[in-house]
Chain A
Amino acid sequence: MKKFVHSSKSIRADIFFRWLTVLGAVIVVLVVGGIVLTLLLHSRLSIKQFGLGFFISRLWNPVTGEFGAASSIYGTIITTLIAMLLAGPAALVIALFLVELAPPKLSRTVGLGIELLAAIPSIIYGMWGLFVFAPFMASHVQPALAKTMPYLPLFRGPPMGIGILSAGIILAIMILPFICAVTREVFMMVPELLKEAAYAMGGTTWEVTRKVTIPYGLHGILGAMFLGLGRGVGETMAVTFVIGNNHNISASLFAAGNSIASTLANEFTEASEPLYLSALIELGLALMVLTFGFQAVAHLWLKSIRKTTGVGL
């Protein structure tokens, strides 16, 4: 490389290299811009045709060309809600276990296990959900739920295994590792001094956690929850396998339903009519807006805790 040194050639090579890296960065902007533009452009037809009614209409009939997103949006919200109700508290207590309770060796093993859970692809959970977990739900869990709480409309109907409830539970298993990882970091960020002061006052581990650790890291924990929410909303394959794929809104959690992502996975390649395709792309647009919203909130809150503690996540 001696010949480059101090020559104009070397300066030109440097300028070229710099612009090459800028190009790489610009490609990222182009891709994100392209995604948003594509969704907006291709959903125009459906937006013009159905207006805001698209989001409240329960009709979904490709034959007559009538499309409404209500059942998909309902399914997305309910499955994600079930997932958050299960995974949120579970992630909190597992993080507590990892940080405060378990001996270091056990903590590392459990931590690795949770990390592996996060690495398993969505479609594998789908296979397990459809062939192993759904039959288990149908034969054990759903009859038991129906028996103990017969007055609740949530647990009525035939126990088929597949349906909204199973999809929600599998979603919970899938987002838990992400929430848990961030919550654990947040717990570890709490200054030892604060915790030791609380212990010195005679607090038990749980009291210190509830009155010092959790309030101190509240923003971070909420950020972790929203991160999980953003992930759960867009999760596609596992949900598609077990949700039953039915454009239906039912009070029962045992019923088959669908989510925005599962509708897209099932129907996108079948959509031959321009209006059908456009309606599906409008669903995609709604999904993009939802995930972006959740993630924006998550990053905002995680950023604020990082600023106050000065430790990177």
Chain B
Amino acid sequence: MKPRSKAKRIFVNRLIMAISAAVSGLFLFILGWVLYAVIMRGGAALNVSFFTRLPTPPGVPGGGLANAIIGTLMMTVLAIAIGVPIGLLAGIYLSEFGQESRFADVIRFMCNVLMGTPSIIIGMFVYALLVVPAHRFSGYAGAAALAILMLPVVMKTTEDILKLVPNTLRESALALAAPRWKVTLGVVFRAGKSGLLTGILLAIARISGETAPLLFTALNSPYWPRRFQEPTANLTVTIFNYAMSPYTDWQQKAWGASLLITVSVLLLTVIARFALAERRK
């Protein structure tokens, strides 16, 4: 090491520390800037008719995005109904049955690949699988795409949480002659309940703001979501369409929808974090 003066070394150290504090501050500032913009502009767009009315053509005042809010909720619920049970089962397999086997490693690898697959590619896959054969965009296809996005998240957290449950619990239940399924669902699941819930919440948070997989599956619609066999209105694709339009009242509605999405995603994330922190205590 080259000999360097003490003053210089201390100066360099202080400089780097100042830079690191400044960069951290900058990113908190950006977070604040994004939230500020969403709250100010979105807040101005929210009123009662935003939640109760159908959208109006550009230039016609009033109207709302009630159909998109309902459509998003419906698709999210259906996606949860499909994605969560499959994710839980696959997670149970990994932690309770597969463990260190070759096949379980393959499944883990596939889970990682799916986790990293860009959501727009999942949209293309569901398009080819469900939209092309049916010759129409549908709410079912949208929900299927969202379910696929949830799958690896639920699966991974389930495996991680169940692995934390001590083996002595399983052994004592099995010693009482309880069947394996009863041990898993009644004992192991109960021990990991809050953790599993956290995983599901995080998975829901992940799909709540997803747009790309809905573009080619659910598409969008200006009508009430009556049947799932048709293109289904949803908030995120509405934001995309409205933001790209030249009409200021549509753009304002897009900000309102953005606020709604941001608030729900951040709420879900914060609740999940606090539940997890509580558990660790």
**Residues of A participating in the B interface, judged by any CB pair closer than 8 Å:** 1, 4-6, 10-11, 13-14, 16-18, 20-25, 27-29, 31-32, 34-35, 38-39, 42, 90, 93-94, 96-98, 101-102, 110, 112-117, 119-128, 130-132, 173, 176, 204-207, 230-231, 233-237, 240-241, 261, 264-265, 268-269, 281, 284, 287-288, 291-292, 295, 299
Inter-chain contacts of B19 with A (CB < 8 A): 93
Is B243 an interface position by the 8 A CB rule? yes
Among B97, B148, B215, B261, the residue within 8 A (CB) of A121 is B261
Additional A-B contacts beyond A102-B21, A127-B37, A288-B121 (15; CB < 8 A): A14-B181, A25-B90, A28-B111, A31-B114, A39-B125, A90-B27, A101-B21, A102-B24, A121-B211, A122-B212, A204-B13, A205-B17, A235-B118, A236-B211, A292-B113
Look across to chain A and name the residue whose beta carbon is closest to the beta carbon of B42: A127
Could you tell me the distance between the alpha carbons of A25 and B261 in the complex, rounded to whole angstroms?
31
A265 and B212 in contact, given A93-B16, A116-B31, A288-B121 (Cβ under 8 angstroms): yes
B261, A4: Cβ atoms closer than 8 Å: no
Inter-chain contacts of B9 with A (CB < 8 A): 204, 207
Classify the interface of chain B: helix, strand, loop or mixed: helix
Minimum distance in angstroms from A88 CB to a CB of chain B: 12
Look across to chain B and name the residue whose beta carbon is closest to the beta carbon of A180: B27
Inter-chain contacts of B28 with A (CB < 8 A): 110, 113
Tell which of A32, A114, A241, A268 has the most Cβ of chain B within 10 Å.
A32
B151, A28: Cβ atoms closer than 8 Å: yes
Could you tell me the distance between the alpha carbons of A274 and B235 in the complex, rounded to whole angstroms?
30
Could you tell me the distance between the alpha carbons of A287 and B212 in the complex, rounded to whole angstroms?
14
B261, A124: Cβ atoms closer than 8 Å: yes
A121 and B265 in contact, given A131-B251, A241-B243, A287-B118 (Cβ under 8 angstroms): yes
Give how many B residues have a beta carbon under 8 Å from the other chain's beta carbons.
Answer: 90
B184, A24: Cβ atoms closer than 8 Å: no
Is B210 an interface position by the 8 A CB rule? yes
A13 and B181 in contact, given A21-B92, A24-B90, A24-B93 (Cβ under 8 angstroms): yes
Look across to chain B and name the residue whose beta carbon is closest to the beta carbon of A173: B30
Inter-chain contacts of A28 with B (CB < 8 A): 86, 90, 107, 110-111, 114, 151-152, 155
A97 and B121 in contact, given A42-B128, A269-B215 (Cβ under 8 angstroms): no
B90, A268: Cβ atoms closer than 8 Å: no
Among B117, B123, B181, B243, the residue within 8 A (CB) of A288 is B117
Is B63 an interface position by the 8 A CB rule? no
Among A120, A128, A205, A268, the residue within 8 A (CB) of B265 is A120
Is B194 an interface position by the 8 A CB rule? no
Is B236 an interface position by the 8 A CB rule? yes
Query: Can you list 15 A-B pairs with a CB-CB distance of less than 8 A?
Result: A5-B178, A13-B179, A14-B181, A24-B87, A28-B110, A39-B121, A93-B20, A97-B20, A131-B41, A131-B243, A234-B117, A264-B124, A268-B127, A295-B116, A299-B112
Inter-chain contacts of B113 with A (CB < 8 A): 32, 292, 295
A24, B110: Cβ atoms closer than 8 Å: no
A101, B17: Cβ atoms closer than 8 Å: yes
Is B73 an interface position by the 8 A CB rule? no
Among A5, A123, A205, the residue within 8 A (CB) of B209 is A123
A31, B181: Cβ atoms closer than 8 Å: no
B27, A127: Cβ atoms closer than 8 Å: no
B266, A120: Cβ atoms closer than 8 Å: yes
**A interface footprint on B240-252 (CB within 8 Å = 1, 0 otherwise):** 1001000000010
Could you tell me the distance between the alpha carbons of A42 and B126 in the complex, rounded to whole angstroms?
13
A268, B215: Cβ atoms closer than 8 Å: yes
A21, B93: Cβ atoms closer than 8 Å: yes
Inter-chain contacts of B209 with A (CB < 8 A): 120-124
Inter-chain contacts of A116 with B (CB < 8 A): 31, 266, 269-270
Inter-chain contacts of B60 with A (CB < 8 A): none
B89, A24: Cβ atoms closer than 8 Å: yes
Could you tell me the distance between the alpha carbons of A261 and B262 in the complex, rounded to whole angstroms?
23
Inter-chain contacts of A22 with B (CB < 8 A): 93, 97
**A interface footprint on B196-211 (CB within 8 Å = 1, 0 otherwise):** 0000000001001111
Minimum distance in angstroms from A83 CB to a CB of chain B: 14
Minimum distance in angstroms from B201 CB to a CB of chain A: 11
Could you tell me the distance between the alpha carbons of A268 and B205 in the complex, rounded to whole angstroms?
26
Look across to chain A and name the residue whose beta carbon is closest to the beta carbon of B148: A31
Minimum distance in angstroms from B243 CB to a CB of chain A: 6
